[in-house]
Amino acid sequence: MIIGLVLSFIFGSIIGSFLNVLILRLPVEKTLNGRSHCMQCKHQLNALDLVPILSFVFLRGKCRYCKKPFSHRYFYIEVITGLLFALCFAKLFPINSLEYLILLKSFFISAVLMVVFMIDYEHFLILDKVVIFASVVLILFNLAIDIALHSLWFNSLTLNGLLAALGLFLFFGGLYYISKGRWIGFGDVKFSFVLGLATVFPIIVINILLAFMIGSVVGLVLMASKTKKLQSEIPFGTFLAISCMITVLYGSELINWYLRLIGVRIYV
Ligand SMILES: [Zn+2]
């Protein structure tokens, strides 16, 4: 288990350093194949400068060439992605060969959520290309899992995911329509489609409830501390992303805990 955890963490931090590039370049339409360079002195960074986490620690968070500090968020995103991958592994351990597909799917979901969270937080934007790419890959994942489990017709994850995605899309679309875009943005409506494919029924319900709960708690705290007015809100997509991650990791535990609480003895 320890080896699996460590490998997942290392894999996650490598993916995290790639996500850093996506988060930086996707919203400004920059090409993805240019070499990475220091934001201050524009010096090209070589392979040694780009080792996830380690290079940040060894260079003490400074550019090797101009000694100006790098933004700490590169480091945090690498560490958090690594931790999320390790948690995904821990959740599924012990893993049989079929479950590696599910593990890969949760890695992919974690990566998508990191990107959506960061870009929405910084730019109040959920990008179509991220939504479309994530949807296609998640449908393929669900199909592959169905094929591996021979569940294409009965108990089909693909079908479940598409129905959940469509249901959420209509629900959020309705919220958007009723509130004329004041409660949520249309980006959230599109993003909800991805969430349906990611967490499917019945866990998806937890995902949505959590998002509204976290959203209201954070909103209340912010209003109480007067750091933000209600109008200058934090984008709702960030709450959807956080709650989706919690749901992927602990959704079934949460549902079972709740069912026990109200005295229902069905286990999901
Ligand atoms: Zn520099």
pLDDT in tens, 99-128: 899 999 999 999 999 999 999 999 999 999
Indicate the residue type of 212: F
CB-based contacts of 64: which residues, under 8 Å, 6+ apart? 49
How many residues would you count in the chain?
Answer: 268
* pLDDT, position 155: 83
Predicted pLDDT at 121: 92
Return the structure tokens found at 210: 């959590």
Q: How far is CA 127 from the centre of its chain?
A: 14
Weakest-pLDDT range from 81-90, 140-149, 176-185, 191-200:
176-185
Cα of 75 to ligand 1 centre, how many Å? Answer: 16
CA of 122 to the centre of ligand 1 (A): 23
Residue 44 forms beta bridges with which residues?
37
Instruction: Find the distance separating the first CA and the last CA of the chain, reported in whole Å.
Output: 25
DSSP 47: G
Is the model's pLDDT at 90 over the cut of 90?
yes
Per-residue pLDDT reduced to its tens digit, 191-222: 999 999 999 988 899 999 999 999 889 888 88
Q: What pLDDT does residue 96 have?
A: 84
CB 88, CB 248: distance < 8 Å: yes
- Å from CA of 40 to ligand 1 middle: 5
| 71 CA → ligand 1 middle, Å | 12
Confidence at residue 229, expressed as pLDDT on a 0 to 100 scale: 58
- What pLDDT was estimated at residue 232? 61
Q: What is the pLDDT of residue 265?
A: 66
pLDDT attached to residue 51: 86
The rounded distance, in Å, linking the Cα atoms of 95 and 23 is 31
Distance of CA 21 from the midpoint of ligand 1 (Å): 17
CA distance 44 to 64: 11
pLDDT of residue 228: 58
Cα dihedral 81, 251, 243, 129 sign: positive
Would the pLDDT of 230 be above 60? Answer: no
The CA 61 to ligand 1 mean position distance, Å, reads 11
Choose between 231 and 172: higher pLDDT. 172
Angle separating helix axes 236-261 and 203-225, nearest 10 degrees: 120
d(CA 75, CA 55): 9
pLDDT digits 0-9 by tens, 21-47: 999 999 987 677 778 888 888 888 888
Higher-scoring residue by pLDDT: 221, 140: 140
The model's confidence at residue 150, banded by pLDDT at 50, 70 and 90, is confident
